[in-house]
């Protein structure tokens, strides 16, 4: 069944409040559209644990810097609606920019300090404030719910979890595993920008993570040796321009002096003009 679409905040709130009043639990999947099976996995996870499932599709201008691809960001609402229906969504929230930001320039923003300031935050300084602001607004619109996010955007997930905890927002944030193409490339709406040559080279991100994970499990491993193993993979791929790679503590996103029982490996790189990110968790034992 095709999900019912809502364009206004007031209409959506009435319907979701009615469901909660009858005892239903709401699952929410915020997206920027141009859905792929990674988004589908989030909707399916929401479907399995909730009575009502809503996905939002909103290309949020606040999280794009002036030199980024807001105008070119892919959009195909009918295609998105079909994928959302197949995955089990009941409703789609598809607001306009004017509906979300009716007074023009936004004067109130949400910023999660520290967690937002390194890695992707250093490369895209305004990005996480835009993400936190729109997600907090969406949480206020949707109301109490479980919200599902992909672990591919690991830093974003950490920022949202901390925002929810710090502001006592009545939302349970659920992280879901990365969905990958058969060759290991993490699914992303931006993959469509890749040329055939860059698409073939893009697996360097996953190969770098695999090399880092293998290094992390070896005797005497430390952050330097892991990052060296990851760097060597990039050095052998001339089509990739590395933005950053890092070994971090998954809770703080800071580079540890010594490895703990769990470490997170992060990587970001350009293939042509397309910037891709990926990550993996390495369990090292106690």
Domain positions in the chain are 4-176, 189-281
Tokens describing residue 236: 């052998």
pLDDT reported for residue 249: 96
Percent of the chain whose predicted confidence (pLDDT) is above 70 = 100
- The per-residue pLDDT for range 223-243, each reduced to its tens digit, is 999 999 999 999 999 999 999
Residue 233 contacts residue 278 (beta carbons within 8 Å): no
User: Is 39 in the active site?
Assistant: yes
Q: Which one is catalytic: 19, 36, 39, 127?
A: 39
**CA distances from residue 77 to 31, 56, 94, 166 in whole angstroms, order as listed:** 12, 11, 9, 34
Q: Hey, what CATH topology would domain 4-176 get?
A: Rossmann fold (3.40.50)
Average pLDDT of the residues of the chain: 96
The angle formed by the CA atoms of residues 136, 140 and 143, to the nearest 5 degrees, is 125
Q: Dihedral of the CA atoms 161, 278, 56, 144 (nearest 10)?
A: -20
| Number of helices (H), then strands (E), in the chain | 10, 9
Classify residue 14 as exposed, middle or buried by CB count within 10 Å of its CB (0-12, 13-18, 19+).
exposed
Q: Do the domains 189-281 and 4-176 match in fold?
A: no
Query: Would you say residue 78 has pLDDT above 80?
Result: yes
Q: What pTM did the predictor assign? A: 0.96
> pLDDT tens digits for 185-200?
999 999 999 999 999 9
Burial of residue 236 (CB within 10 Å: 0-12, 13-18, 19+) is exposed
User: What is the rounded average pLDDT of the residues 145-162?
Assistant: 98
Domain range 189-281, CATH architecture = 2-Layer Sandwich (3.30)
pLDDT tens digits along 27-72: 999 999 999 999 999 999 999 999 999 999 999 999 988 777 788 8
């Amino acid at each position: 069944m095709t999900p019912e679409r809502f364009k206004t905040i007031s209409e959506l709130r009435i319907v979701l409040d009615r469901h909660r009043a009858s005892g239903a639990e709401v699952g929410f999947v915020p997206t920027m559209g141009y859905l792929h099976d990674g988004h589908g996995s989030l909707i399916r996870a929401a479907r399995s644990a909730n009575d009502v499932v809503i996905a939002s599709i909103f290309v949020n201008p606040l999280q794009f810097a002036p030199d980024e691809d807001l105008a070119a960001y892919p959009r195909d609402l009918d295609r998105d609606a079909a994928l959302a229906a197949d995955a089990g969504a009941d409703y789609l929230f598809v607001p306009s920019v004017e509906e979300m930001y009716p007074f023009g320039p936004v004067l109130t923003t949400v910023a999660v300090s520290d967690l937002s300031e390194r890695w992707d935050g250093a490369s895209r300084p305004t990005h996480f404030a835009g993400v936190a602001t729109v997600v907090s607004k969406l949480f206020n619109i949707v109301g109490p719910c479980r919200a599902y996010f992909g672990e591919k955007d690991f830093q974003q997930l950490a920022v949202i979890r901390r925002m929810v905890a710090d502001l006592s927002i009545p939302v349970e944030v659920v992280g879901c595993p990365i969905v990958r193409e058969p060759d290991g490339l993490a699914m992303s709406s931006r993959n469509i920008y890749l040329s055939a040559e860059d698409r073939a080279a893009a697996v360097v991100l996953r190969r770098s993570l695999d090399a880092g994970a293998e290094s992390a499990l070896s005797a005497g491993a430390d952050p330097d040796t892991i990052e060296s193993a990851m760097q060597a993979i990039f050095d052998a791929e001339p089509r990739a321009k590395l933005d950053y790679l890092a070994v971090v503590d998954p809770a703080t996103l800071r580079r540890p002096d010594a490895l703990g029982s769990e470490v997170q490996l992060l990587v970001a790189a350009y293939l042509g003009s397309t910037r891709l990110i990926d990550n993996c968790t390495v369990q090292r034992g106690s």
